Amino acid sequence: MSFISGKYNRLTPYTPGEQPKDRKYIKLNTNESPYPPSKNAIKNACEAAKDVMLYSDPQCFKLRQALADRYGVDKDCIICGNGSDDILNFAFSAFCDDKTPAVFADITYGFYPVFAEYNRVPYRIIPLNDDFTVTPSDYYNAKGTVFIANPNAPTGIALRRAQIEEIIKRNPDNVVVTDEAYVDFGAESCVPLTKKYKNLLITQTFSKSRSLAGARLGFGIADPALINDLNTVRYSTNPYNVNSMTLAAGIGSLEDQKYTDENCEKIIKTRQITAGSLKKLGFYVTDSCANFLFAKHESLDGEYIYEQLRERGVLVRHFSAPRIKDYNRITVGSKEQMEALISALEEIIGRRI
């Protein structure tokens, strides 16, 4: 018997990537960083743990100041959240309703339709092109709140800043949300545009480039009026959405920007090498600007590859949606992890490169 309210009848929750406990896997399925967080972040979080009898700062004052300095914006242009998922959920609540549907691609972050259903707002799907690219003009005059992951997930393909700017300009009466969860791995960020356009919200996260996925920290950057709207939702649900250890870890990470930059460079380099090896093994690989690769084999089935890799202790992400069922999304891990991936694939395919 279920007691769940009828308002959630149609809700199919998001399926997070597996976090298996049965054996030790090379985990390339949830786009986490293979590198530990900055020592500075760990030290700060431990220090903050001593004061957890107090509530965390609902204004996230110091972290917002540190983010404002890092991104060259005013701190009133920033909101912090429990992962960027939190901010995206606020955006669906604040900026979508029956007259203003959410608008997003068919192949994109799988949480968007779930947020729409959860907030009980309609959504309109715009299919990607056959090669998974976005045609920006498809989003002109979208008559709804536009959500664009840039780089997109799970394809890794990015639009240029100028292309997103055109989408923002062509939707003057609606909000355009640019989800930049993976932007630090080689795409152009639209943060500078937040000074020019009042209808742009950028979301970013500490989960990927800053190795803090388990700390749950994300943020939004936008014109203060937009941030205010998001805060109306935040203060009506959970003003303490970011705990004090995470706030401290975030500040520690921002103080150690060099460490983040070095890790991003390593991941970009490993991505290039791995893409080259995959191509030699007969894979088609999209042009990814993220910390993952999206790859389809010329003859072997996507699910078969996923299962065979799993048997060999390598976990990647397979999606069953018809358009992408031949693909696997493979997180770019350390050099050693990717070497293990390639040897497992050589065994599965029966040929060495």
Min dist CB 68 to ligand PMP, Å, is 19
Q: Which of these, 107, 65, 108, 115, lies nearest to 90 by C-alpha position?
A: 115
Contacting residue, 109, 139, 147, 197, with ligand PMP by CB under 6 A: 109
Among 60, 148, 153, 201, contact with ligand PMP (rule: CB under 6 A):
153
Select from 84, 93, 241, 291 the one that contacts ligand PMP (CB under 6 A): 84
Give the nearest residue (CB) to ligand PMP.
Answer: 83
Judged by CB under 6 A, the residue of 171, 205, 209, 328 near ligand PMP is 205
Do the beta carbons of residue 100 and residue 145 sit within 8 Å?
yes
Residue 309 in contact with residue 316, Cβ under 8 Å? yes
Longest dimension (CA), the chain: 59
C-alpha to C-alpha distances, 227 to 93, 178, 328, nearest whole angstrom: 13, 14, 36
With CB under 6 A, what is the number of residues at the site for ligand PMP?
A: 12
Near ligand PMP in 161-180, by CB under 6 A: 179
3-state DSSP assignment of residue 342: helix
**Binding segment for ligand PMP among 83-91, 134-142, 247-255, 274-282 (CB under 6 A)?**
83-91
Question: 222 vs 349, which CB is nearer to ligand PMP?
Answer: 222
d(CA 278, CA 299): 13
User: Is position 89 an interface residue for ligand PMP (rule: CB under 6 A)?
Assistant: no
In terms of CB distance, is 87 or 342 closer to ligand PMP? 87
Under rule CB under 6 A, residue 149 binds ligand PMP = yes
Burial of 175 (0-12, 13-18, 19+ CB in 10 A): buried
State both tokens at 154. 């799970």
User: Which of positions 14-53 make contact with ligand PMP (CB under 6 A)?
Assistant: none
Residue 23 burial class via C-beta count within 10 angstroms: exposed 0-12, middle 13-18, buried 19 and up: exposed
Phi/psi region, residue 18 (left: phi>0; alpha: psi -120 to 50; beta: rest), is: beta
Smallest gap from Cβ 298 to ligand PMP, in A, equals 27
Work out whether 85 is an interface residue with ligand PMP (CB under 6 A): yes
Q: Which is nearer to ligand PMP, 217 or 345 (CB)?
A: 217
Binding residue for ligand PMP, selected from 155, 174, 207, 211, defined by CB under 6 A:
207
Beta bridge partners of 81: 218
Phi, psi of 66 (to 5 degrees): -65, -40
Q: What gap in Å lies between CA 94 and CA 88, rounded to an integer?
A: 10
CA dist., res. 190 & res. 179, Å (int) = 10
CB of 183 to ligand PMP, least distance (A): 10
Q: Looking at beta carbons only, is 102 or 149 nearer to ligand PMP?
A: 149
213 binds ligand PMP (CB under 6 A): yes
Q: Residue 349 Cβ, how far from ligand PMP at the closest point, in Å?
A: 28
Give contact residues for ligand PMP (rule: CB under 6 A): 83-85, 109, 149, 153, 179, 181, 205, 207, 213, 218
